[in-house]
Amino acid sequence: MSSYECMLLDIKNHVATVAINRPGVMNALNWQAYAELEQIFRDLQNDPEVRCIILTGSGRAFCSGDDVKEIMLKIGSSEGGSNRLKEVRPGTTPAARAILDCDRPLIAAVNGAAVGWGMDLSLMADFRIASDKAKFGELFVKRGLVADVGGMVRLPKLVGPQKAAELLFTGDIITAEQAYDIGMLLEVVPHDDLMTAADNLAARITSNPPLAVRHLKEGLRRSFSR
């Protein structure tokens, strides 16, 4: 496994728990964090011991999207990804591609704010379990930007095109309870019970034959993408 500066990784009982670890900026992602998120999912994909992945955030946020201050300072530099902010149809980011290509079941344990790319990141998971303190928002429109594959493709398939359009076009923030009501979440739990709920679901999944689970995920991915 690689070493990471912006991520925490713990692997136990065939479950990899990944935590975005930039709590000082609400786990906003800079170029380094995007690169590490891509690499960590490629590493986990190549680890035969990993049968399920839990993704969460350190501190009080899940992920607040782009670290706009740092990213905007480097627009036009040689660091990858900056051109994406200028494009109307920017395509899938490398980090998103690595997450979507990973054939292990992915549980997003949403512990707090999941906004902008953070909301899209949660939508890339197979399951979303949220703390009752979580909030969600597709804030791209507020910055004159567009969503990634999470908002543009997966959100309308979960909540319907009309509700997705409302969230995307307005940038409104919704609570965990509202997200559950529109079909985004598997469940909402008290904040202190979040990781226990995610661990319990992961244990139920990993108790089954791993190759069967991986093939089932691939079948669902193919049907979901059509």
The pLDDT score that the predictor gives to residue 208 is 98
**What average pLDDT does range 82-92 have in this prediction?**
53
C-alpha distances (whole Å) from 8 to each of 2, 22, 46, 54, 151 are 11, 10, 18, 11, 25
Select the more confidently predicted residue: 2 or 82.
2
Cα 9 from Cα 50, distance rounded (Å): 12
Q: What is the dihedral of CA 143, 145, 149, 154, to 10 degrees?
A: 60
**Whole-model pTM above 0.95?**
no
* CATH architecture of structural domain 7-225: Alpha-Beta Complex (3.90)
Q: Which band of pLDDT confidence, cut at 50, 70 and 90, is reported for residue 225? A: low
| Residue range 35-46, pLDDT digits in tens | 999 999 999 999
Structural tokens at position 113:
């704010």
Cα 178 from Cα 185, distance rounded (Å): 9
| Residue range 49-67, pLDDT digits in tens | 999 999 999 999 999 999 9
Instruction: Please give the span between the terminal C-alpha atoms of the chain, in angstroms, as a whole number.
Output: 34
The pLDDT score that the predictor gives to residue 82 is 47
DSSP class of residue 66 equals B
The pLDDT score that the predictor gives to residue 84 is 47
Determine the residue type at 13. N
For the chain, the average pLDDT equals 92
The pLDDT score that the predictor gives to residue 202 is 98
Cα 24 from Cα 60, distance rounded (Å): 10
Measuring CA to CA, which residue among 63, 19, 58, 17 is closest to residue 202?
17
